[in-house]
Amino acid sequence: MSAEDLRKRYEAAFMPNYGVPPLALVAGQGSVVWDAGGKEYLDLIAGIAVSSLGHAHEELGEAVSNQVMSLAHTSNLFINEQEVVLAEKLRELLGGEGRVFLANSGTEANECALKLAIKYGKANGRTYFVAAENGFHGRSMGALSLTGKQAIREPFGPFAIDVRFVPYGDADALREAVTDECAAVFLEPAQGEAGVVPPPDGYFAAVREICDATGALFVADEIQSAIGRTGAWFAHQHEGVRPDILTLAKGLGGGLPIGACIGFGPYGELFAKGDHGSTFGGSPVASAAALTVLWTIEKENLLDHVTAVGTLLKDGLAGIDHPLLAGVRGRGLWLAAVLAPGAGPAVEAAAREAGFLVNAVQPDAIRIAPPLILTREQAQSFVDAFPAILDAALNANTDGNTDANTDADAAALKED
């Protein structure tokens, strides 16, 4: 079936919240994908930082297939071995501590964290929450209440909880906002949907100190940043601090839907029987996939690989002199090329035309979050191609070509 036929059928069958995506992808291998017309692309999006091991990974496929043919689903009424081993492995990677709840997505992991924080707050007379301006924690009503992007919050308010927003990275503003009446602070180690915006050095240490001083819980949303994405298992480990509650998803399943909420110390024991649940959370199949991801990262030493290839990408892109490129930010294989105002959609479209998939996550930034197995040669090929991509985007804007921008804007709507 042609790509145009698929686009028409997609538009007729689905709600219009995503617009119509510009490509129909039909196959992948490693860090490469092919569209319905047979064109090849280097995938520098990885399903929004999801496909940690790339596409058609043999061991991941075997683990999922074997588990489906053995036991595909149990619900939470029964124990399955895969979920237990996965929870134990996550605890091991976090220093042997924490109690785990397994869900199906990042939004659900954050809903779990919010319920834990609400229960803590009610027991201790704490009435409000603090989160960051431009932060993103999900689109369900609880997670959306913590999301500081006004364009997607305002149409669905008012919300059931009191959330106060502060500028991201401003420790003084956070210190002023958090009192002994604050139940929890929800923050990302870097703001993914805002354009991979990192905080100043020492910010997470300051957050930890502020929460310790006031008794507020520190919740780290690592939906995008964890599972090796920044060259560490979890991004908060770069600053040597530990949150009270940690949320994970995306790269954990390597392409299968999974989320996790992990509470440390007494905050992992706040729920009583019946307080929370999930029919599909802890699925044997998703858990088998997640274990394969974790074991493969260890076996292939991908944390060091991510650091090395990420440095190559970041330094190579930063060394390009072009009027559309203002800089590069991020860490590991979670980067953003910062662009001239409004250039993001045109650069995304030009990259796609050149055979590279990137994401115009903001009008002035493209997000680069490839599979963790991206090779040095593949990374260098993008660096080498980027000047011509920027030239093409500049020419497209100069010529007033808006069709490609419309497609890229639609793709940019696809968030967690």
User: 151-155 — which CB contacts under 8 Å span 24+ positions?
Assistant: none
How many CB atoms are located within 10 Å of the residue 239 CB? 18
How many CB atoms are located within 10 Å of the residue 280 CB? 17
Is there a binding annotation on residue 139?
yes
Is there a binding annotation on residue 278?
yes
Is there a binding annotation on residue 106?
yes
How many CB atoms are located within 10 Å of the residue 298 CB? 14
Q: 10: buried, middle or exposed (CB in 10 Å: 19+, 13-18, 0-12)?
A: middle
Is there a binding annotation on residue 31?
no
8 A C-beta contact, residue 136 and residue 191: yes
**Whole-angstrom distance, CA of residue 413 vs CA of residue 266:** 38
Is there a binding annotation on residue 279?
yes
Is there a binding annotation on residue 121?
no
Is there a binding annotation on residue 275?
no
Residue with tokens 């490469």: 32
Q: Which amino acid is at 227?
A: I
Is there a binding annotation on residue 221?
yes
At what angle are helices 302-318 and 284-299 packed, to 10 degrees?
70
Is there a binding annotation on residue 188?
no
Q: 74: buried, middle or exposed (CB in 10 Å: 19+, 13-18, 0-12)?
A: middle
Residues in the chain, overall count = 416
Is there a binding annotation on residue 9?
no
Q: Binding site residues, as ranges?
A: 106-107, 136, 139, 221-224, 278-279
Annotated binding site for pyridoxal 5'-phosphate: 106-107, 136, 221-224, 279
Q: Which residues are annotated as a binding site for N(2)-acetyl-L-ornithine?
A: 139, 278
